[in-house]
């Protein structure tokens, strides 16, 4: 199942391609860091795609106590076992760490602190919780449905009860590599970014 979802007042025709859009053509696969571009995942039968806003943080002096929540538009691609996010559909590399859907739970909730007519989605992973929003309950429900279905399929793939689309192999390898790299960084107690993530509960990307 595939669809292209866009956040409020952000239509596809409003987004002009970058000047170097040729870099993101159908022939472009992986960047120098072996991370898949959005264009590569889009040409290899992603399960679901679309724009959502992601809760992030703006911090002063790298101090989690001075962080305030901000909302950023991100283009999400669900491919294989991983949910990737990019600045937009022309992104050359993922923002942050891809989420392994098998190890996540997906819920909707009412944000009483920010009751602005938007519909939040909470994604709980081993590392932390993420909050995404959309302006449509139908879009929210569709995302919840495909994410939960992808989780069940990932379990079946691991147990050998289903065959995965071979075009998702690069997404799975890249997602696993980036995920393990981030876990390794989080395990480093000397990293100020680790402390900020743990104490503030929100990411910066």
Q: CA torsion angle for 192, 193, 197, 199 (degrees, to 10)?
A: 10
**Are the C-beta atoms of 96 and 76 separated by less than 8 Å?**
no
Long-range contacts, 179-186 (Cβ 8 Å, 24+): 179/82, 179/97, 179/98, 179/100, 181/97, 182/97, 182/127, 183/127, 186/127
Measured between alpha carbons, how far is 70 from 59 in angstroms, rounded to an integer?
10
pLDDT digits (tens, 9 = 90+) for 153-183: 999 999 999 998 999 998 999 999 988 887 7
Sign of the alpha-carbon dihedral angle for 69, 72, 76, 82: negative
The yes-or-no verdict on residue 144 having pLDDT over 90 is: yes
**Which pLDDT tens digit goes with each residue over 39-95?**
999 999 999 999 999 998 776 655 556 678 889 999 999 999 999 999 999 999 999
171: DSSP letter:
H
Return d(Cα 123, Cα 107) in angstroms, integer. 7
Q: Hey, what CATH class is 33-158 in?
A: mainly beta
Task: Give dist(CA 179, CA 98) in Å, integer.
Answer: 6
User: How many helices and strands in the chain, by DSSP H and E?
Assistant: 4, 8
Inter-residue contact 73 to 86 (CB < 8 Å): no
pLDDT at residue 25 is higher than 50: no
Instruction: Give 3-state DSSP helix, strand, coil % of the chain, rounded to 5.
Output: 35, 25, 40
In this structure, what are the phi and psi dihedrals at residue 123, rounded to the nearest 5 degrees? -115, 120
Residue 103: count of CB within 10 angstroms of its CB: 14
Tell me how long the chain is: 205
Give pTM, 2 decimals. 0.75
């Amino acid at each position: 199942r595939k669809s292209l979802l866009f956040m409020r007042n952000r239509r596809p025709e409003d987004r002009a391609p970058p000047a170097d859009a040729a870099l993101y053509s159908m022939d472009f696969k992986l960047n120098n860091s072996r991370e898949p571009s959005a264009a590569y995942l889009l040409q290899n039968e992603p399960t679901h795609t679309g724009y959502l806003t992601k809760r992030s943080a703006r911090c002063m002096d790298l101090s989690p106590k001075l962080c305030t929540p901000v909302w950023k538009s991100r283009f999400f691609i669900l491919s294989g076992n991983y949910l990737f996010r990019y600045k937009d559909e022309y992104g050359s590399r993922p923002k942050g760490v891809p989420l392994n859907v098998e190890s996540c739970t997906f819920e909707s909730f009412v944000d009483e602190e920010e009751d602005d007519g938007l519909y939040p989605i909470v994604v709980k992973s081993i590392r932390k919780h993420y909050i995404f929003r959309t302006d449509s309950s139908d879009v929210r429900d569709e995302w919840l449905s495909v994410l939960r279905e992808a989780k069940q399929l990932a379990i079946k793939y691991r147990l050998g009860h289903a065959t995965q689309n071979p075009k998702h192999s690069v997404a799975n390898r890249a997602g696993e590599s980036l995920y393990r790299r981030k876990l390794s960084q989080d395990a480093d107690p000397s990293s100020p970014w680790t402390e900020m993530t743990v104490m503030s509960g929100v990411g910066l990307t």
